[in-house]
Amino acid sequence: MADHIQVGDAVPRVQYVANGVQAAFTYPFPIFKPQDLEVWVDDELQLPAVYAVSSAGVSGGGSVLFAQPPAAGGFVTLRRRLSIRRDTDYLHDGLIRAKELNDELDYQTAALQQVAEEASRAVRRSFLSTDAADLTLPEPVGGRALKWNADGSGLENSASDLDTAAASAAAAQASAAIATAKASEASAAQTSVASDAAATHADWIAVTADAAQVAADRAVVAADKALVAADRAAAAASALAASGSETNALAYRNAAQVAQMAAEAARDATLAAYDSFDDRYLGAKASAPTLDNDGNALVGGALYFDTTAGAMQLWTGTAWVAAYVSGNGTLAAANNLADVANPATARSNLAAAAASHGHASTAITDWTEGVQDVVGAMVAAAGGSYNDGAGTIAFPAGGGGDLVKISTATISSPAAYIQFTGLSDAYRTYLVIVENLRPDVAGNVTPELEFRKESGASWFSNIYDWTGGCVNEDGSTSYWGSGADHNNWTIRLCQSLATSTAGEGGYCGHILILNARNPTVYTRVEHHGSVFFYNAMRSFWASGYVYDTSVVDALRIGCGQNILTASATLYGMK
């Protein structure tokens, strides 16, 4: 986690002389943010757009990288400039955190260093002085100089412009010197006239000798010039080589500065990333934390491992909740009967579910439930089988399984039958749900189911192994007839619908028809229905085979009399 900076004993100002090549300059004192550093070239404050500051918040300072190197000979000044303020307070009796206190003290210490540096550059009296003179400055007056007053007890302005007085004195002194020189020249002229004639002859002799010496000197000078020219050429070559070496050295130094700045930036980014991670993953703890590892408020999405519960916890912003939830017991695609990886296992699980309701655990056998048609469709979708007590029935494997509503038939005025036509190979199994079938006459009326062969217009209703049962209103059970299987019966949907008044009794039920379109397999019929008599309620169930492999294209339900009211819906399953 990030720590506070260390403010060392360093003057918060540094200067460099630019060479026109160097672009990076270091500052050896800490700053808190890039805006705390002023950058000057000569007497111009530089805008932040022309340079970049690295390593703000680092104890050892950092670097300033110019977009363009400053011109050669310019003075580069870097100094820390803080806004001296204190605009936050600690709460009374509140918690004072070490980092917050350290940051406050670091800032105030840096501000004191700034003030001390500026004070050291001011005019001041020696700390050894014993004089008590007043150092207050007088009001400014143009052209006047500051001076000590007559008794040396304070400062005052001069009475006149010192620059004008000094110029006048200098002019007077120059005039006096000129007059003295003219007088000396006149006296010397009188003396020299007498000696000029004598000297003239001697001068002629000397001139002749000088001419010879001059010729010799010229030869020596010519030789010296040649040597000087050679030395200059060598010096120029050396200077050029030295200039190239210096340029290379500066380039290498700039590259090193840039690399250092990049490394410092990477270090700062790494520290920031670690601090961010440390604020979000708080580690293993025995109890729920109320603050992060820095002592700051928790951030939404923070995690910690609860060593007591052995589970990860997530901070929502208001509370700790479990970060992960076990997938045990969830419904996966492989658990769906329409898309199972192992149909046999699915059927076994379905049988176990039936057993929990009191059915046999080895197979699904009880069809007295009002949803046996749906269960049958589910088992068929898995390509399995079921047992209804009279034998195991196999469903054709391979696709399908969805019940599709085909049509609805309604009788609103007396009619002989309620029927559906157009059964096709599009569906293997059909489901008919009949509601509120009421006869138009009183007496013993029995609803029956009939099929029509696709090869002709005849209807048939004979069924074999038609086994049925009845549950009376008092809960007692009985079989139809003598209790044995009924062979070659019509497909009766109940024992009898005995009524004393037309429309008094009623029937409702559902009929499952399997293999109606398969010419090699007998058509199977499963039925469950309820009958309301004028004085009782009974529930019927039955199943059997149509002993005929004819392909069926229509079915109908009648009761030997006109039907007063009824509605039925036909479903198909592929």
State the DSSP code for 175: H
pLDDT (0 to 100) of residue 183: 55
Contact 440, 561 (CB under 8 A): yes
pLDDT at 490: 73
Q: What's the angle, vertex CA 462, arms to CA 488 and CA 396, rounded to 5? A: 110
Q: What is the pLDDT of residue 349?
A: 64
Retrieve residue 277's tokens: 């991670």
Give the model's pLDDT for residue 310: 87
Q: Kindly state the average pLDDT of the residues 190-199.
A: 50
**Kind of pairing, strands 281-285 and 155-157?**
unpaired
**pLDDT, tens digit (0-9, with 9 covering 90-100), for 145-164:** 889 998 988 999 988 777 77
Instruction: Render pLDDT for 253-264 as a digit per residue (tens, 0 to 9).
Output: 776 777 788 788
Greater pLDDT, 195 or 249: 249
Bridge partners (DSSP) of residue 375 are: none
pLDDT for residue 184 is more than 60: yes
Looking at per-residue pLDDT, the higher value among 173 and 416 belongs to 416
Tokens at 279, concatenated: 């604020």
Confidence of residue 242 (pLDDT cuts 50, 70, 90): low
Read off the pTM. 0.34
Output the pLDDT for position 180: 65
More confident residue, 549 or 330: 549
> Do the Cβ atoms of 136 and 154 come closer than 8 Å?
yes
Please state which CATH class domain 403-573 belongs to. mainly beta
Res 493: pLDDT: 82
Burial (Cβ within 10 Å: 0-12, 13-18, ≥19) of residue 513:
buried
CA distance linking residue 432 with residue 568, whole number of Å:
7
The pLDDT tens digits for 345-391 are 665 665 555 555 444 444 443 333 434 544 555 555 545 544 444 44
Alpha-carbon span 449 to 444, nearest angstrom: 17
495-554 tens-digit pLDDT: 777 777 776 778 899 898 888 787 777 788 888 888 876 667 788 888 887 767 778 888
Place of tokens 């002592």: 295
The least confident of 93-102, 186-195, 297-306, 308-317 is 186-195
Rounded alpha-carbon distances, angstroms, from residue 83 to 11, 56, 59, 232: 17, 16, 19, 56
Band of residue 100 on the pLDDT scale cut at 50, 70, 90: confident
Return the domain boundaries, the chain.
13-120, 282-322, 333-394, 403-573
* pLDDT tens figures, 457-481: 778 777 766 777 887 777 777 765 4
278-305: burial string, b at 16+ Cβ within 10 Å, e else: ebbebeeeeeeeeebbeeeebeeebebe
| Average pLDDT taken over every residue of the chain | 77
